[in-house]
Structure 1
Amino acid sequence: MNNPNYQKTASFVESRFSDLLLSDDFALSRLGFNREELRQSSTRALLDIEAKAQEKKQKRQETEQEFKVYVSEYFHETLFEYLKQRVADPDYIFNELLNFEPELPKLFDACAAKASGVTHFEQIIANIPWLKSKFIETINNPPFREAKSIKPKVENLGLAIRYIGLDNTKLVVLSQAAQHWLPHSTEPYNTFKSRYWQYAIATANCSRQLAKYNGLNEVVAFFLGLFHAVGISIALRLYLRAFDTVRIAQMKDSLKTGRRDIEKVLNSLESDPIFISEALSKFSNLISYKVFEKLGLKYAVVAPYAEEIKDKLTFAQASPMTQVLMQARTFAQYKILQKARLIELDEAKVFLTNYKISNAIIGELNKVNLTNIKYTK
């Protein structure tokens, strides 16, 4: 049985990671830090800092500021209801937010199916023009080709697949499909895209390693790790897209009822990372599950694992593949938070222990490159 205190700490650390995805400064500010304070006091206990941050939060400015807070909270209640409706509509997600092609489920299944051969992959990739172009470009550059090589470049798709092998082909096309689903812009949270991608790659690589360690399908584990957090990316895009839609509608309603004071405050509102972080925590796992469910995969079946994450099963309750994902994402989050100096040693021990990450598991994960995919030679 999981320790409730461990679960609480793990949940808190995961929320902090969501903050960090948005920006370093936001994650630090939520802990009562600014960068200068961090330099001067890198060893202060986080629990003490958090307690003081709560005290500081309670001392809100009165009158105009309190009114703005009230309007913002009411606005976000409406915004979250709007988001809830959008999340319940997978067609909207696929048609409006993802660069989705009907051939992608075939590609994902081909990667997971043991019987898929070169001809099968060639046919699928050829039907996705951007992927064909990107794939050919990739295999003609390092690590598959020496930078200063004078050998003729490979232009034929079938020959390209044979050149790097099926195992590498699967890793390449999966990572390129995942990149294709990245948002073009998440302004003003401009560091989100790079950090999200760092997290996705780290989780995918760790999942692959742990699947091998546990005798599970490595490609399915890699796919699940790479795409498991797609809901985070979509939830952020949903919030940013819905923000002005809901705000403008509320401004019009306020003018109709003669509440120019409310309309004025609404007009001054900007996207709020506190509410965005809440939206990521509230909707991202549900969105990921709905995406996998909508894909209708036959061989790369990962929707049941995403459903277990959505339903917040404990590590002991989860299936082996979900346990692999839990440990992989936890280790990836830990390493990224550690690099940003946003996790204390005692917290890290609890965080890792909550997901049964033993010294043996750490030993396996320390073999993993967290930034780049390891291809077979």
Structure 2
Amino acid sequence: MNQALPIENLITERFNDLFLDLKQAQQNLLFEGKPQLSRVEIEQSKTKRSLLRVEKQAIQEKDLNTKSEQSFLNSITAQINEEVERQLIEVINDTDYLYEKILGFDDAVVTLLDMAGLKAATISKIEPLACDVPWLYNDLLKMINQPKYRRVDSKGKVVVVDTIRAAISFFGIENLIIVVTCLAFRRALPQITDPYPTIKIRIWEEALATALASKKMAHTLGLDPNHAFCLGMFQQLGKIVITKLYFRIFDSVQIQALKETEGARQHEEHSALLKLSPTGAFLNELITRYGLKTSSQLIARMNFKRIFISQAMQARAENKQASKSPSLSEVLAQSHGYAQYRILKHHKLIDLQQSKDFIRTLNMPKGSLEILKTVDLRTLNLTFSAE
């Protein structure tokens, strides 16, 4: 990475590194801006002596061979990436497939969220809709019975919640949009992303921080905080979809290429293909190109009737200024940038001056930074009405 990069680009690169691997991101930070040593210099530093001419020549020849092999490997990788992207573009045009098969969403979730957004909503109206969501019973009860949400009766005995009605009552209708949004989102997270096993953690971390920051900012600006929370979290649906598809399509394309090169007795190509693994840098490129647009498609597909986030997401994906100010799309852009800053700060991947320079580019509303500083963006801290 180059320290001379504009601050927005620098933060993007740091965040992309973190998305793939925290240790690698920390290592990249250590070597940022430092000149790269040649193979001869590295070997000489290991031996702590001057190398003989014949030793230098041998190292340089080995280096040339390695570079030639790497060049061939890069060529094969480029061909695989091109085919992966071609197939990915075809798939992401089928929004229904992404919605139902890749995310595992169904319209019962949307109906439930819409009902929860009504001021006149009651538990008796919400309960049957909640029962229509196949996974919600198990997930909701598992969540409500966690130690941080447990309640005790007058005798100090833990109250175990075992019905959806009781769970909704415990959380309160005012929290239901947030709870269901989080549970639906978590179920959609990618699970197998080797060789980058922590990707699902990073997506959740980014989505939750953005959603919580959006909710807080919306509240202070007089916008609907629940809508802002949904938008902040669902903005990451495109990232989930692109990530899941990338690993699936990569495996498929690699297997097909191995079969073809084996059949054609292309031994060098076959050997190179066996060395390939999913490329994190290319995955980040695909997310940058198609992530927000895909999120916009999916939110439009949800067809919410009472949660008004589709137009804001479209404006965000197209990088357009909304007609009214303040707007949810502006809140989302600023909250997402602020969330990235807080996450990088937590992982010690940004210094004080870089923080100041980056936050300045976000054009945050007056007073919002002071408010957001007090918000924990790593935990879903629900507030409950007094009984």
Q: Same fold (TM over 0.5)?
A: yes
Are 1:285 and 2:292 an aligned pair? yes
Q: CA distance change for structure 1 residues 54 and 301 in 2, over 3 Å: closer, same or farther?
A: farther
Q: Distance in 2 between matches of 1:278 and 1:180?
A: 25
Gaps of 5+ in 2: 40-62
- CA-to-aligned-CA distance 1:162-181 (integer Å, 9 cap, x gap): 33321123322222112111
Question: Structure 2: which amino acid aligns with 1:158?
Answer: R
Q: 1:179 is matched with which residue?
A: 186
Q: CA distance change for structure 1 residues 356 and 316 in 2, over 3 Å: closer, same or farther?
A: farther
Are 1:104 and 2:109 an aligned pair? yes
Q: CA distance change for structure 1 residues 333 and 235 in 2, over 3 Å: closer, same or farther?
A: same
Q: 1:231 is matched with which residue?
A: 238
- Give the alignment partner of residue 80 of structure 1, picking from 70, 76, 85: 85
Are 1:18 and 2:23 an aligned pair? no
Q: 1:268 is matched with which residue?
A: 275
- Give the alignment partner of residue 163 of structure 1, picking from 164, 170, 187: 170
Q: Distance in 2 between matches of 1:304 and 1:363?
A: 29
Q: Distance in 2 between matches of 1:376 and 1:364?
A: 17
> What's the CA shift for 1:231?
1.3
Question: Structure 1: which amino acid aligns with 2:12?
Answer: E
Greater Cα shift, 217-226 or 93-102: 93-102
Number of aligned residue pairs: give it.
355
> What's the CA shift for 1:356?
0.6
> What's the CA shift for 1:76?
1.0
Summarize the alignment of residues 53-68 of structure 1 with structure 2, pairs less than 5 Å apart: 61-68=66-73
- CA-to-aligned-CA distance 1:262-314 (integer Å, 9 cap, x gap): 23212221111121221222221122112112111111132222222221336
Summarize the alignment of residues 28-43 of structure 1 with structure 2, pairs less than 5 Å apart: 28=26, 30-31=28-29, 33=31
Structure (1 or 2) with the larger CA radius of gyration: 2
Are 1:244 and 2:251 an aligned pair? yes
SS, match of residue 135 in structure 2: helix
What TM-score, normalized to structure 1? 0.84
Question: Structure 2: which amino acid aligns with 1:13?
Answer: I
> What's the CA shift for 1:90?
1.4
Q: Distance in 2 between matches of 1:335 and 1:192?
A: 18
Contact residue 286 and residue 310 of structure 1 kept, 8 A: yes
Q: CA distance change for structure 1 residues 86 and 53 in 2, over 3 Å: closer, same or farther?
A: farther
Summarize the alignment of residues 347-358 of structure 1 with structure 2, pairs less than 5 Å apart: 347-357=354-364
Question: Structure 2: which amino acid aligns with 1:136?
Answer: L
Greater Cα shift, 215-224 or 110-119: 110-119
> What's the CA shift for 1:208?
0.8
Q: Distance in 2 between matches of 1:55 and 1:14?
A: 28
Contact residue 315 and residue 329 of structure 2 kept, 8 A: yes
> What's the CA shift for 1:32?
6.6
Q: Distance in 2 between matches of 1:257 and 1:9?
A: 49
Q: CA distance change for structure 1 residues 258 and 190 in 2, over 3 Å: closer, same or farther?
A: closer
Q: Distance in 1 between matches of 2:84 and 2:166?
A: 51
> What's the CA shift for 1:147?
7.2
Q: Distance in 2 between matches of 1:224 and 1:363?
A: 23
Q: 1:40 is matched with which residue?
A: none
Q: 2:376 is matched with which residue?
A: 369
> What's the CA shift for 1:338?
1.5
Q: CA distance change for structure 1 residues 129 and 306 in 2, over 3 Å: closer, same or farther?
A: same
- CA-to-aligned-CA distance 1:136-183 (integer Å, 9 cap, x gap): 333344433247941543334324323332112332222211211122
Q: Distance in 1 between matches of 2:195 and 2:79?
A: 23
Q: Distance in 2 between matches of 1:116 and 1:295?
A: 20
- CA-to-aligned-CA distance 1:84-107 (integer Å, 9 cap, x gap): 112212133123321222311112
Q: CA distance change for structure 1 residues 317 and 113 in 2, over 3 Å: closer, same or farther?
A: closer
Are 1:137 and 2:175 an aligned pair? no
Greater Cα shift, 327-336 or 214-223: 327-336
SS, match of residue 10 in structure 1: helix
What TM-score, normalized to structure 2? 0.82
Q: Distance in 2 between matches of 1:315 and 1:365?
A: 23
SS, match of residue 67 in structure 2: coil
> What's the CA shift for 1:108?
2.5
Q: Distance in 2 between matches of 1:233 and 1:26?
A: 22
Contact residue 152 and residue 158 of structure 2 kept, 8 A: no
Gaps of 5+ in 1: 1-5, 34-45
Q: Distance in 2 between matches of 1:141 and 1:241?
A: 34
Q: CA distance change for structure 1 residues 239 and 317 in 2, over 3 Å: closer, same or farther?
A: farther
Contact residue 285 and residue 310 of structure 1 kept, 8 A: yes
SS, match of residue 175 in structure 2: helix
SS, match of residue 192 in structure 2: coil
Q: CA distance change for structure 1 residues 324 and 312 in 2, over 3 Å: closer, same or farther?
A: same
Q: CA distance change for structure 1 residues 269 and 152 in 2, over 3 Å: closer, same or farther?
A: closer
Q: 2:60 is matched with which residue?
A: none
Are 1:340 and 2:338 an aligned pair? no
Q: Distance in 1 between matches of 2:224 and 2:36?
A: 45
Q: CA distance change for structure 1 residues 92 and 72 in 2, over 3 Å: closer, same or farther?
A: same
